[in-house]
């Protein structure tokens, strides 16, 4: 029998020992066999014979394992295993908020570096142009107008008849300057609104976006506009912070009207 076989057979009856305790016992008895074999080799034995003799001198691994197993408490063995599981769960539970904060912060940082990326899927098939208009919002927020595309959409007129209207699709990203802080208030309150005087439509609608993480938000606005209109007005009013901003409209080829 080789040393590895002895140590494996030793482990079979040791069900009361925890994995750590079993590993310690196997290390200790493995060292014992190695020491004995080294002495035999020093006395002129071949390596293989020395190990075989050292293993044989240990006795029956099943008997040794059973005798050792009796010295490990079944109760404490079970308790230690459950305690280990409980400890792992507690550590995981304790780290969940930290992990979430880090994930939120990472996402928030990624969005402020490249706000067009999370918006891209809402602009598929449109000739989108990047914007970079940044305004100071409430409570440390930044309101960033980041992407725009001009398109036409079929919307009902005052009689309910379907008509084609020119629409500016504008992507806005809001984030707190501190990536570990949340966007002020709810994301809907923290969003700007767009003013439109195009009649007989359903007004401004949203095609997507919202809170992906508490520390950053995006929203895609579909603002009905007049053909050739130069800008569209965005308005923000939250916690005493108020601003309006004229967002330029790019009518084809990326050029302003």
Partner 1 sequence: MDKNNIEHTNLLALKLLSGEDMYGYQMITELERRSEQIFRMKEGTLYPILKRLENAGAVKSYMAEMSGRTRKYYHITSSGLSLLKTEEARWAEYARGVDAVLGGAQNLA
Q: How many CA atoms lie within 13 A of 228 on its CB side?
A: 0
**Is 47 or 127 the residue whose CB approaches partner 1 more closely?**
47
Nearer to partner 1, 27 or 152 (CB): 27
Q: How far apart are CA 115 and CA 146, in angstroms?
A: 6
CB of 26 to partner 1, least distance (A): 11
Buried b or exposed e, range 64-92, using 16+ CB within 10 angstroms: bbeebbeebeeeebeebeeeeeeeeeeee
Minimum distance from residue 28 beta carbon to partner 1 (Å): 5
Contact string 69-108 vs partner 1 (x = CB under 8 A): -xxx------------------------------------
Strand order in the sheet with 241-248: 193-195, 231-238, 241-248
With CB under 8 A as the contact rule, the residue among 11, 22, 40, 68 that binds partner 1 is 68
Residues in 16-35 at the binding interface with partner 1, rule: CB under 8 A: 24-25, 27-29, 31-32, 35
Q: Determine which residue in the list 2, 49, 60, 136 makes contact with partner 1, applying CB under 8 A.
A: 60
What's the closest the beta carbon of residue 80 comes to partner 1, in angstroms? 15
Report d(CA 220, CA 209) in Å as an integer.
6
Decide: 170 and 218 in contact? Cβ < 8 Å.
no
Give dist(CA 128, CA 207) in Å, integer. 15
Binding interface with partner 1 (CB under 8 A): 10, 24-25, 27-29, 31-32, 35-36, 39, 57-61, 63-64, 67-68, 70-72
């Amino acid at each position: 029998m080789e040393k590895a076989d002895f140590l494996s057979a030793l482990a079979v009856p040791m069900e009361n020992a925890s994995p750590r305790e079993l590993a310690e016992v196997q290390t200790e008895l493995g060292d014992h066999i190695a020491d004995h074999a080294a002495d035999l080799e020093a006395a002129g034995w071949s390596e293989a014979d020395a190990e075989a003799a050292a293993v044989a001198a240990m006795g029956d691994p099943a008997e040794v394992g059973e005798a050792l197993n009796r010295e490990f408490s079944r109760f404490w063995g079970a308790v230690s295993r459950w305690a280990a599981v409980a400890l792992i769960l507690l550590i995981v539970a304790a780290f969940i908020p930290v992990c979430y904060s880090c994930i939120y912060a990472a996402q928030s940082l990624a969005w402020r570096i490249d706000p067009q990326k999370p918006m891209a899927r809402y602009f598929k098939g449109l000739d989108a142009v990047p914007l970079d208009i940044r305004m100071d919002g409430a409570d440390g927020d930044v309101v960033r107008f980041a992407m725009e595309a001009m398109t036409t959409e079929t919307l009902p007129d005052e009689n309910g008849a379907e008509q084609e209207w020119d629409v500016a699709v504008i992507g806005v990203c809001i984030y707190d300057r501190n990536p570990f802080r949340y966007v002020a208030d709810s994301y809907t309150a923290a969003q700007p609104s767009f003013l439109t005087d195009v009649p007989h439509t359903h007004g401004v609608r949203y095609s997507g976006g919202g809170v992906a993480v508490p520390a950053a938000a995006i929203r895609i606005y579909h603002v009905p506009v007049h053909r050739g209109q130069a800008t569209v007005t965005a308005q923000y009013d939250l916690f005493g912070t108020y601003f309006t901003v004229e967002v330029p409209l790019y009518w084809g080829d990326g050029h302003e009207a």
